[in-house]
Amino acid sequence: MKPDAMRKILVSDWIEYPRPLWMRQVWGTVTGYGLLTVTGNEHKQMRKAMNPAFSLANLMAQTDMYYNPIYSLMKILEHQIQTEPDPSTGEQMLLYEWMSKVTLDIICKTAFDYESDSLHNPYNELAQAYESMINLQSGTNMARMIAFLHIPGFAKLIKSGLFSVSGDFVISMSIYLG
């Protein structure tokens, strides 16, 4: 597809190209029904309400709230390097988990004025729920979910509460004996 066509569909005239129903159902099941699932004027109104929070002026006003979580992360990484027996050997540090935690801490502080402190408290309930959600985001899990959602009635069954989705897209069924 040509870049001009992609720009027209995804950016300039996106309202004329709504997401297909199946995609809205997938997003609705995964994230709940909201900005990713609505189309047309409803989507426009939601974006209009959210845009001020992401304006450059608003983001710049919040940068001082980024300092403490980022500084804490730097101290943690510094400590890991210093406690390594031979840091010059080039031992790799996996940063994805740490970056997810600092991101959660920043979002909680700036958006909700809530101190999650997931960098220092791995047993924080919100941090554990966030980590579980992040761990579900893999190409394999998305492919499985899309495949299951194409089974007639599957999305409705998931919403019914009889099934739960957890871990590596393990589907378990709750059986109630009467």
**Number of domains present in the structure of the chain:** 1
- Residue 16: inside a domain, yes or no? yes
Burial of 170 (0-12, 13-18, 19+ CB in 10 A): exposed
- Residue 101: inside a domain, yes or no? no
- Residue 82: inside a domain, yes or no? no
Q: What is the pLDDT along the chain (178 residues), one digit of tens a residue?
A: 888 888 888 788 877 788 788 778 777 877 778 887 888 888 889 889 988 888 899 888 888 999 999 999 999 999 988 888 887 787 788 898 899 899 999 988 988 888 999 999 978 888 888 777 777 777 777 777 777 767 777 667 666 766 555 544 444 444 433 3
Closest residue by Cα to residue 29 from 125, 171, 128, 176: 171
pTM: 0.58
